Structure formats: C-alpha cells, structure tokens
C-alpha cells in the first residue's frame, strides 16, 4: 500500500511516498519510495501582506498555539489533581477539592499563616496533613519553571544573566537565613513583598520583559520568512529555542535598553501595566533604514525575509536600521507629564 504524505509550510511544500504492508503503522515493514520539497520564492508566495510581506496565517497560528498551550496546561492540572486524589493528598469530594484549589493563593489580604507559602515553611519543622501537602504540590505545578537537560553554551549571554540571578538569590536566602526557597518566599510575603517573579529594571531582577516582547516580534517574523527560530548564527546554545531570534534582535536591543532606562529615570521601578504598555509600544516605533522608514515590526519582518533570501543565495545584504536620533531616544517609554 502506498501513502502520500504532505507537509505544507508558509514557504515550502514537503512530500513523501511510503509503501507499507497494509495500513501505515500497522507493522514495521515498509520503506520510503520517494520524497522531496518545493521551496517557493518570494514572487510565488501567496497569502501575504503586500506591505510587510508577513504571512496572513501568522495571527491564526498564534491563536491556535495559545489555545494548545492552554489546553495542555489544563490537562496537566487535571492529571495532577487525579493523581493527588488517588494518593489521598486531595479530598475525594469534588466540591471540597475544587474549593481547596480555588483557595490556592498566597493569602493576600487574609491570614498569611495559612497561605501556601506558610505551609511550605511550616513543613520544615512539623508534619503537615495530607491535604496540606497536596495543596503545596499543586502550587509547585502552577509556579513551575523549566531547566534544560542539554549542554549549555557558556558563551550565551542569557545563560550568564540567569546564573548571576541564581547566585544573587542564594546570597539573599543566606542573608535571610532561609533554609529553603519556599521559606524565603514566606518571609517575603510576611513582609508585604511580592512572591511572584516580577522582573524589575532597577537591578533587583531582570529587565527581560522588553526583550521578551522584542523576541516574540522577531520570532513571528522569522517563522513568516520560512526560517526556524532555534537555528541561530552566533547564539549557539542548543537549549535555546529562539537562537536565531536572539541574533536578529541585536540591532534593536539598544532601543529596549534606552526605554527601560527612561522608565527607571521616571520612577517606574517595576514592570507595572503602564511599563508593559510602554515597552510593547516599541514594536510600532518608526525606524529609519537605508531603504526607507517603517515601524519596528515591519522592519523586523523585512529583515527576516532578507536573511532567508541570503540563505537561498537570492539576496545581497541586510537592511539594518540606523540608530534613532537623540530626541527619539530620550522620549522612548516616557510618561506624559501635566504642565
């Protein structure tokens, strides 16, 4: 039995014909008869914005990705609840279990001695009830992070920032004489401080938010150009899923740095909704390039298209942006003042 498989992308169409004994996957017998790929040139591209050249399917793909991530999170949470219930760490009664889940906060505005972080600190000295243990485990699922098991490139600047932040956190925990990270978070909460990873721009945390917005903009442009964001040029960390995005965002980093500097100078010391709005607005900043002026997100799309053309030996150079003038730099992310 012969089966034709197609892989339709924004800039290419891959195909393969396999021959199997019976239905594909029914057994291990089979082989590839033929395969190939058709790469579309820019003149052949359809379904793209005539000005930015970005794929019209980008918005649909992003929305679909958000739905998938949300569905996966809900399924992970449901499986965890079922596992905790099966081991007696959550109530068998559905209403009681849901009430315990809804009460799964840090006790803000209430009795901090019963918050989840207080339970994590209390567990160091006395036994918790099974349901209290389940409640603490459920919190870890909500606030979980990610640590790659791949070999990290020591030259990756992002790895250096994270290592520095981890070292600074260890020093703060030693100063507070906190035995565990959970106990340190409880100490902060008891002092009225935030226990969430609020990335600040005053040196107490990372100024990653502006870079995150920029990286997302560049990644969309890279995918629309038919490139893969994880295959970088100079950022070679195998655990970095956005290596190429980190390469292409380099010309725009000073803009984010100056915007963060302006926010701090104006007294905005944390990533507030106002700061987020100001940093997100940078993607619409008009940039001057050798071939004209365009918003940052449009310029990033053009830059990714030019890089793809270079890889295909159809282009000659990259249209890098010129540095903004001093007046523009000084006004980045500045809050309006009443006269």
Kindly report, residue by residue over 188-226, the tens digit of the pLDDT: 877 777 666 554 444 444 346 778 888 889 988 999 888
* Range 138-155 average pLDDT: 59
For residues 213 and 161, the model is more confident at 213
For residues 171 and 68, the model is more confident at 68
pTM, 2 dp: 0.44
Does residue 212 share a domain with residue 327?
Answer: yes
Does residue 289 share a domain with residue 185?
Answer: no
Does residue 217 share a domain with residue 326?
Answer: yes
By CB atoms closer than 10 A (0-12, 13-18, 19+), residue 230 is middle
Task: Residue 296: give its domain's CATH number.
Answer: 1.20.120.920
Question: Which range marks the domain in which residue 185 is found?
Answer: 71-145+154-190
Does residue 273 share a domain with residue 240?
Answer: yes
Domain count within the chain: 3
Does residue 31 share a domain with residue 101?
Answer: no
Average model confidence (pLDDT) for the chain? 78
pLDDT at 157 over 70: no
By CB atoms closer than 10 A (0-12, 13-18, 19+), residue 29 is exposed
**């001057």: which residue's tokens?**
288
Q: Give kind and range of the element (H or E) at residue 14.
A: strand 12-20
> pLDDT class for 16, splitting at 50, 70, 90?
very high
User: Does residue 76 belong to any structural domain of this protein?
Assistant: yes
Nearest to 178 by CA among 127, 122, 121: 121
> pLDDT class for 152, splitting at 50, 70, 90?
very low
Percent of the chain at pLDDT exceeding 90 = 7
* Range 121-150 average pLDDT: 77
Does residue 75 share a domain with residue 35?
Answer: no
The answer for residues whose C-beta is within 8 angstroms of residue 159's C-beta and 6 or more apart is 152, 153, 237
21-72 confidence digits (pLDDT tens):
877 777 777 888 999 988 776 544 556 666 556 666 766 777 788 888 888 8
The answer for residues whose C-beta is within 8 angstroms of residue 300's C-beta and 6 or more apart is 217, 218, 221, 248, 252
Beta strand pairing status for 2-8 and 12-20? antiparallel
């Amino acid at each position: 039995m012969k089966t034709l498989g197609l892989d339709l992308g924004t800039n290419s169409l891959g195909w393969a014909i396999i021959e199997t004994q019976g239905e594909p996957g029914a057994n291990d017998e089979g082989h590839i008869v033929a395969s190939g790929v058709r790469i579309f040139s820019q003149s052949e591209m359809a379904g793209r914005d005539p000005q930015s050249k970005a794929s019209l399917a980008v918005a649909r793909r992003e929305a679909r990705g958000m739905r998938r991530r949300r569905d996966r999170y809900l399924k992970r949470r449901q499986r965890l609840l079922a596992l905790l219930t099966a081991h007696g760490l959550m109530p068998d009664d559905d209403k009681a279990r849901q009430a315990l889940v809804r009460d799964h906060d840090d006790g803000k505005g209430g009795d901090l001695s019963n918050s989840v972080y207080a339970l994590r600190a209390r567990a160091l000295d006395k036994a918790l009830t099974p349901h209290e243990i389940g409640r603490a485990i459920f919190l870890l699922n909500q606030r979980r992070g990610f640590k790659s098991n791949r070999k990290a490139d020591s030259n990756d600047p992002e790895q250096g920032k994270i290592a520095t932040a981890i070292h600074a956190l260890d020093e703060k925990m030693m100063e507070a004489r906190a035995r565990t990270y959970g106990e340190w978070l409880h100490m902060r909460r008891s002092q009225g401080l935030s226990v969430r990873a609020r990335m600040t721009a005053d040196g107490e945390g990372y100024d990653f938010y502006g870079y995150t917005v920029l990286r997302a903009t560049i990644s969309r442009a890279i995918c629309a150009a038919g490139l893969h964001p994880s295959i970088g040029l100079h950022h070679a960390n195998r655990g970095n899923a956005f290596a190429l995005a980190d390469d292409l965002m380099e010309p725009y980093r000073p803009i984010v740095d100056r915007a963060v500097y302006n926010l701090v100078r104006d007294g905005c010391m944390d990533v507030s909704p106002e700061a987020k709005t100001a940093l997100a607005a940078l993607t619409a900043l008009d940039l001057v390039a050798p071939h004209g002026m365009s918003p940052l997100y449009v310029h990033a799309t053009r830059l990714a298209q030019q890089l793809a053309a270079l890889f295909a030996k159809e282009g000659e150079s990259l249209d890098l942006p010129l540095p903004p003038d001093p007046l523009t730099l000084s006004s980045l992310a500045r809050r309006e003042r009443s006269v």
